[in-house]
Structure 1
Amino acid sequence: METSCFLTSNASPVKSMVMPSPAGIAKARPHLLFGGRRAASSSVTTCCSYNGDGAALAIDPDWRSFRAQLYFNEQYAKSVNPAVAAVRTTAATTPEPVKIGDKWAHPLVEPEKGCLLIATEKLDGSHIFERTVILLLSAGVLGPVGVILNRPSLMSIKEAQAVFAETDIAGAFSGRPLFFGGPLEECFFLLGPRAAAAGDVVGRTGLFDEVMPGVHYGTRESVGCAVELVKRGVVGVRDFRFFDGFCGWEREQLRDEVRAGLWRVAACSPAVLGLATVVKGGLWEEVQGLVGERRVW
């Protein structure tokens, strides 16, 4: 894969859009949209209500934390009094809220934007996907797209500087490592989590897509803006993680792989991503522990 795809106009375009599934589920998928332009906004989370005029009502932007709180409250209630948890919750039976802290994760039934895909034992022996944790960046109509979080490459931005067309970009991120994001050809970077004020500035640029509160992603089109944000002190270089390659599925392919037991699906807090650290295997074990390890055969 060409590291220079962040920076040059003649970078290798996205070619094959087939996810090499170990289970043989992979099918031919259409040309994806990240090769030359930004993703359409069709994958924006639709967890909101509408009034009679069709206008969206205001909701808590951190609805994932609200859902997590409900989940952990329910789990606690089941552990204390299963009979109470089995009936509809009332004001008289609602337990005190469980303190979930900054780092949390819980299982999901279906993949969604911002979720984690955790490789199960069925992927043991797969050179690419064994013990991987994938962050799903988008779940739009063209199919899910994500990056592997826990596969550091053997090359840093500084070591790859010779292939960079823009020395400013190589200089700004020279100390940051490159990560292997997946087998498909395109480059992404993650930005965050960070302070709410900085997140507002990042969002207002219109060049980054939000994955979850405080976490955005960008492509080669927005890396120049990322450099400017660093130069102005809005964000730091440690807020970034760069990925060479990505993972992609057809619209129903990922669901088939989840149902086949290849992946566990989990929601998580931004703190779980650990974007400022470089650990090859620790994230898989940590997420398994947070979600509750369960073998799938």
Structure 2
Amino acid sequence: MDGTDDLFRMENNNIIPGKGKVLIAEPFLEGRYFSRSVVLLTEFSDEGAVGFVLNKPVNLNVNEVLINIAHFDGDVFIGGPVDTNRVYYIHTIPELIPQSIHIYDNLYWGGDFAILKELISLKKIEVHQVRFFAGYSGWSAGQLEDEIKENSWLVSQLDVKDVMNCNNEKLWERSLRKMGGRYKMWSNFPENPGLN
């Protein structure tokens, strides 16, 4: 035994999944959507969970994805593998967008999209106030809890500023470093160790 099994064993960090928490993928989790991803949970209950991947840009501007929307410099991110033909959004301006769903602190999900479009056309929304996602991540009842028990995800927290920061391709590494200990070492582990 060389000790690598212990190095990549997750320690219980006593943070349970919930609305507003983030999931940090373990280093070897595979797949286009979840490899080295950080997922914000916007909904969590006995019936399942919904979230958005925060650190996978699509390399498209909102104007290239949404028809009939005024020019807006915001990027679109891959939210997850479910319903990828729809665009979802989170924001920090509930006072301007009715029917927004509170996530935590000053962070909200969705709301009246017609009003959002109008606010964008009137240039009353700034890029740091809203983030767009193609699709979402979803788990059925008990599925996410099982994945956490299988050590696929670490549960953590981020402040709203980090969640809304669109320049976050290094979010996975930064989140692990912030957790310290063995997780700090994980952040430096190569994506494909066979290429070293």
Q: TM-score range by the shorter chain?
A: 0.7 to 0.9
- Corresponding residue of 2:137: 247
Letter in 2 for 1:179: F
2: CA distance, partners of 1:142 / 1:187: 23
For residues 190-223 of structure 1, what are the alpha-carbon distances to aligned partners after superposition, in whole Å with 9 as ceiling and x for unaligned? 112xxxxx55x147x2x1111111111116xx22
Bigger share in strand: 2
Counterparts of 1:139 and 1:249 in 2: how far apart (Å)? 9
Q: CA deviation at 1:132?
A: 0.1
2:177 is matched with which residue: 262, 265, 289? Answer: 289
Whether the 8 Å contact between 1:210 and 1:216 is mirrored in structure 2 is yes
Structure-2 residue corresponding to 1:171: 70
Distance 1:171 1:214 in 2: 25
1:114 to 20, 29, 34: 20
For 1:128-277, what aligned pairs fall within 5 Å after superposition?
Answer: 128-160=33-65, 164=67, 167=68, 170-173=69-72, 175-185=73-83, 186-192=86-92, 199=94, 201-202=95-96, 205=98, 207-218=99-110, 222-230=112-120, 235-273=125-163, 275-277=164-166
Q: Distance in 1 between matches of 2:123 and 2:38?
A: 30
Q: CA separation in 2, counterparts of 1:233 and 1:127?
A: 34
1:191 alignment partner AA: H
- Work out the number of aligned pairs and report it: 170
**Residues 141 and 235 from structure 1, CA distance in 2 versus in 1: closer, same or farther, beyond 3 angstroms?**
farther
Give runs of aligned pairs for residues 76-87 of structure 1, distance below 5 A: none
Q: Aligned-pair distance for 1:251? A: 1.8
Deviation at 1:160, TM superposition (A): 3.0
> What's the counterpart of residue 5 of structure 2?
none
Q: CA deviation at 1:172?
A: 4.5
Residue ranges of structure 2 left out of the alignment (5+ in a row): 1-12, 187-196
User: Is 1:230–1:237's contact at 8 Å kept on the other side of the alignment?
Assistant: no
Q: Distance in 2 between matches of 1:218 and 1:147?
A: 12
Report percent identity of matched pairs: 26
* Contact 1:202/1:208 (8 A) holds in 2: no
Instruction: Show structure 1 runs of 4+ deviating over 6 A.
Output: none
Asked whether the equivalents of residues 110 and 255 of structure 1 are also in contact (C-alpha less than 8 Å), the reply is no
Displacement of 1:155: 1.7
Shift of 1:234: 5.7
CA, structure 1 residues 223+121, in 2 after alignment: closer, same or farther (shift >3 Å)? same
Deviation digits for residues 237-276 of structure 1 (CA, Å, limit 9, x no counterpart): 4311110011100121101110110000012221221x24
Read off the aligned partner of 1:294 and give its amino acid letter: R
Given that 1:108 and 1:267 are in contact with CA atoms closer than 8 Å, whether structure 2 keeps it comes out as no
In the other structure, the counterpart of 2:190 is none
1:154–1:237 distance in 2 versus 1, CA, 3 Å = closer
Could you tell me whether the CA contact under 8 Å between 1:240 and 1:276 is conserved in 2?
no
The root-mean-square deviation of aligned C-alpha atoms, in Å, is 2.3
1:293 positional shift = 4.9
The answer to whether the 8 A contact 2:61-2:76 is kept is: yes
Residue type matched to 2:177 in 1? G
Partner Cα distance (1:232, 1:141) in 2: 41
